[in-house]
Amino acid sequence: MPRPTPPRLLLALALLAVPLADRPAAAQAPAPSVATQTARGRAQAAFAAARADYDAGRHAQALEGFRASYALVASPISHLYAARALVALGRHADAYAELDAVFHEANDAAVVDAKYDETRAAAEAELAEARRRVVLVSVTVADAPADATLDVAGREVPLGALSRPIPATPGTVVATLRAPGRPDVNAWGNGVAGATLELRLAGRAAAQPTATATLAATQRPASATRAAHGTDVPTAAWIAGGIGAAGLTTFAVAGALARYRYDDLKRSCGGACPPERQSDVDAGRRDQTIANVGLVVGLVGVATSAAIFAFAPSQPASSRASAAPHLDVGLGWVAVGGGFR
């Protein structure tokens, strides 16, 4: 009696049987109703191998196999099992997005073949279950530049697709609007499982992002500023204080991003993260480094400002022009300006 072919070998053979030039991307794969018999046979072989991995608890390999099958023939069934593998891996936000796509896909396929009614019903039921494990993020963007891109909880979202909420892992959810040559604009909030979180970003604020802290200060009267010496606060003290505030703001924002990434990796990986999550690990380390640098800069800036304020030589206010400076501080920038009269 011949030995059965291992599931992983079946998958490899199914993929190797498709010439590279003939392998469609997932978005270009033919629907089951129009796929050739050869394509359907190869997709079924890949699906069978992936199903064996799934039943054996090898969910990461199963996900790879179901996606390979779907890349050959865009069957709602292989798509549904890919979503189930994501659920088994604890990637509930990704699973919700896939189940939502499966539901609509199966709904269209059922018009041609009634067997997909069952797939649609299964996707609908599992989508309701997945809803309890994710937060749906509703993002509003005003005045976005034409070349802007949006990232919500690590997922790139087309600006034209904001009519539908974006699933995310419960906890701190960060939305980032990016445009070439402009500072990022961030908004974040605490998302609760089963609830909807609303975030708003203003694209016109790319020059001075509203989601980062902005500190505005006006010159205080000489009677209230170092009144015992009869002098004004030196401009250098304002500048050092502004740099300190910018550093502390950077520490707060980057620290929040690092904590968000750490919590997400801890939930999704459990222990050691797989190689495909390395980019997230690197991003978390980068955010933590930025936060640490921001803290050091902030503390040095505040200390320098205090030292200048305390030890700068006294200069009578009447001996120099009266000034009305203002200080603007944001993530990664600081500006001092004012008018003299």
Q: 96-118 pLDDT, tens per residue?
A: 999 999 999 999 999 989 999 99
On the 0-12 / 13-18 / 19+ scale of CB atoms within 10 A, 200 is middle
Q: What b-and-e string marks burial along 233-268, b requiring 16 or more CB atoms within 10 Å of the CB?
A: bbeebbbbbbbbbbbbbbbbbbbbbbbbbbebbeeb
Predicted structure pTM score: 0.54
Q: Please give the average per-residue pLDDT across 291-307, as a whole number.
A: 74
pLDDT at 235: 65
For 98-121, letters b (16+ CB in 10 Å) and e give bbbbbbebbbebbeeeeebeebbe
* Percent of the residues in the chain that have a pLDDT greater than 90, as a whole number: 44
For residue 216, name the pLDDT band (cuts at 50, 70, 90). Answer: very low
Q: Determine the Cα–Cα distance for residues 222 and 228; give it in Å rounded to an integer.
A: 10
Does the pLDDT value for residue 48 go beyond 60?
yes
**CB 78, CB 43: distance < 8 Å:** yes
pLDDT tens readout for residues 258-287: 677 777 767 777 666 777 667 777 777 787
307-317 mean pLDDT = 55
Order of all β-strands in the sheet with 185-191:
155-157, 149-152, 171-178, 185-191
Pairing of strands 135-142, 196-202: parallel
User: What integer best gives the mean pLDDT of the chain?
Assistant: 75
How far is Cα 131 from Cα 136, in angstroms, rounded to an integer?
8
